[in-house]
Amino acid sequence: MEIIQLKDLYKIYDEGAVAVNAVNGISLTISEGEFTAIVGPSGSGKTTLLNLIGGLDRPTSGEVFINGTEITKLKSKELIDFRLNNIGFVFQSYNLIPVLTAHENVEFIMQLQNKPLAERHKRTIDLLESVGLGDKKDIRPRHLSGGQQQRVAVARALASKPRFILADEPTANLDSRATTNLLDIMERLNHEEKITFLFSTHDQRVVNKAHRVITIEDGKVLSDIYQEVLVHGKH
């Protein structure tokens, strides 16, 4: 089942005399359960594409369908609600709320959804356990390592039971061990709970784990490869 569908998507930044085509006519679909990496050099349009898919930015033209809803037509307030209930975000710099503990950061999303206390509490504990931070639930972000903060961010992204998770360079600020740890968690969640992951990355270790690799350059899709198919010599 297709979760994300992009149709002839353009994003043009008008920077003075020069117009920059950050996304230049991209059309693609992402299906449920995919573990997809978007790769490409700096300035290729990866982050812009993720922002458009996440409804954080609006395209110059084209359409973005998430689970059948054309989000480009949603009003700003509707988009906020849509993001809350459908999309989980993991940012490069973790971006946890500094004054809340790990537990509160994860629970916060469910509070925004007005979930009952008991449900919130149970799910928060489960999620923190699943990312291996059950024992760090009462610790604030500044006392956690980068890898631990990013794992809390993943738990937070999963808290709202989203349709998919968008991760922009999730391992960019992590060391090798933390990267491996995070990838293992994301891979397990994808495999066991069928959670769809779409992430941009420069990191070859992340690319190696992806089932599908979409390469972007100058705002266009250069290649779109299913790695299992590639491994088995099919295309």
Residues contributing to the site for other proteins (CB under 8 A): 51, 54, 56-57, 77, 80-81, 83-85, 89, 91, 95, 97-100, 104, 108-109, 111-113, 156, 160
Contact criterion met (CB below 8 Å) for 191 and 17:
no
How far are the Cα atoms of 24, 81, 175 from residue 64, in angstroms, in the given order?
Answer: 14, 16, 34
Nearer to other proteins, 16 or 233 (CB): 16
Nearer to other proteins, 113 or 227 (CB): 113
Q: Give least dist CB 12 to other proteins, A.
A: 15
Q: Which residues on adjacent β-strands are paired with residue 28?
A: 6
Q: Give least dist CB 75 to other proteins, A.
A: 12
Q: How far apart are CA 36 and CA 28, in angstroms?
A: 12
In sign, the C-alpha dihedral spanning 159, 92, 179, 222 is positive
Q: Which two tokens stand for residue 155?
A: 């738990």
Nearer to other proteins, 153 or 206 (CB): 153
Q: Give least dist CB 93 to other proteins, A.
A: 9
Q: Give least dist CB 94 to other proteins, A.
A: 10
Nearer to other proteins, 91 or 226 (CB): 91
Contact criterion met (CB below 8 Å) for 44 and 217:
yes
